Amino acid sequence: MTSEKLLSDFKVVLKKEGLKVTPQRIAVLEEIIKDKGHRESEDIYMAIKIRKTHVSRATVYRTLDILVQNGFARKLNLGDGRARYETKIDSPHHDHIICNECGKIIEFVNDEIEKIQEEIAKQYQFKLQQHIHQLFGLCKKCQ
Amino acid sequence: MTSEKLLSDFKVVLKKEGLKVTPQRIAVLEEIIKDKGHRESEDIYMAIKIRKTHVSRATVYRTLDILVQNGFARKLNLGDGRARYETKIDSPHHDHIICNECGKIIEFVNDEIEKIQEEIAKQYQFKLQQHIHQLFGLCKKCQ
DNA sequence: ATATATGCAAAGGATTTGCAGCTAC
DNA sequence: GTAGCTGCAAATCCTTTGCATATAT
């Protein structure tokens, strides 16, 4: 998606929700799509802070919520008490392998696993809504 | 495993680690094996408090750590900021399906998924150490 | 003009930690 | 006797919130 399209989509969403277009919100959006990584709120805050717009941590958190709620970003829980955020734009579903040593994160998808998950949910009469699937270990370098 | 055996195993472990056998530690061990559920530290604290031994939250946390480190318990992260603990005694590996509405937790295992995970790790040259696999949705009652 | 944002600092909630007194061994 | 506990309250860490001021529309 072009960044013009994205920005206009974001503005439409904000309008729809009765929210205003502010420099801070644009900055967080730009930051989340610029980097394909899995970053903490603090990283995004620092990146915006250093490069341009005046922003506060509170506003970063508030804006990240808006992005997550409206399909622009995903929030990840890696079990260490700090949320990670990644762009959802042009980024299909995937899960993660995380290195316990250096923190490196690789994305993976496996259709077979996705299918089995559905079967398991059916077996227990659950209606599946989301899932978390994370593999932890040592990457090649850290072994 | 009989609870006598378990208790004596626990004492051996404590000794090995240079730790003392205290009523609080015994109480946390008993509590973790008594209930097959997935409980928060607070629940375990309350259960012990109400039924017998004088204990503090700090000691419950400290003892749960000892139990986890020594293979008596597992610590679960369900993504809501509160850790859950479950017995690991006579309890083989499994993952969890959680109801988003009522919080009900069901355990599942699927050998096929376990196998594919290993393949994925190999493919990315990771040495697998642990994994988290949680399915979230609505249970039969909550749909 | 005014409804909504922002920034700040204070509040939250789970968990951890420092320390003085207590208890296993 | 003494190394190792325990309880308490204070401290942490990430995240959220209240509120007065600022800004988008």
Q: How far apart are CA B37 and CA B47, in angstroms?
A: 13
- pLDDT value for A3: 85
Q: Which residues on chain B place their C-beta less than 8 Å from a C-beta of chain A?
A: 77, 79, 81, 97, 99-100, 106, 108, 110, 112-113, 116-117, 120-121, 124-140, 143
Q: Using a CB-CB distance cutoff of 8 angstroms, which residues of chain A are in contact with residue B131?
A: 133-136
Q: Using a CB-CB distance cutoff of 8 angstroms, which residues of chain A are in contact with residue B135?
A: 117, 120-121, 126, 128, 131
Output Rg (C-alpha) for chain B, integer angstroms. 17
Considering all nucleic acid strands, name the nucleotide whose C1' atom is nearest to the C-alpha of residue A15: D25
- For the whole model, what pTM was predicted? 0.90
> pLDDT (tens digit, 9 = 90+) per residue, A45-87?
999 999 888 999 999 999 999 999 999 999 999 988 899 999 9
- pLDDT value for A79: 87
Q: Tell which residue, A138, A31, A112, A129, has the closest CA to residue B116.
A: A112
- pLDDT value for A59: 98
- pLDDT value for A96: 97
- pLDDT value for A28: 97
Distance A60 CA to C3 C1' (A): 21
State yes or no: pLDDT of A1 exceeds 90.
no
> pLDDT (tens digit, 9 = 90+) per residue, B36-61?
789 999 999 999 999 888 999 999 99
Q: What are phi and psi of A98, to 5 degrees?
A: -120, 135
> pLDDT (tens digit, 9 = 90+) per residue, B56-108?
999 999 999 999 999 999 999 998 889 999 999 999 999 999 999 899 999 99
- pLDDT value for B126: 97
Q: Is the Cβ–Cβ distance between A109 and A94 less than 8 Å? A: yes
**Band of residue A142 on the pLDDT scale cut at 50, 70, 90:** very high
Q: Is the Cβ–Cβ distance between A99 and A142 less than 8 Å? A: yes
A24 CB inside 7 Å of strand C: yes
Q: Using a CB-CB distance cutoff of 8 angstroms, which residues of chain B are in contact with residue A109?
A: none
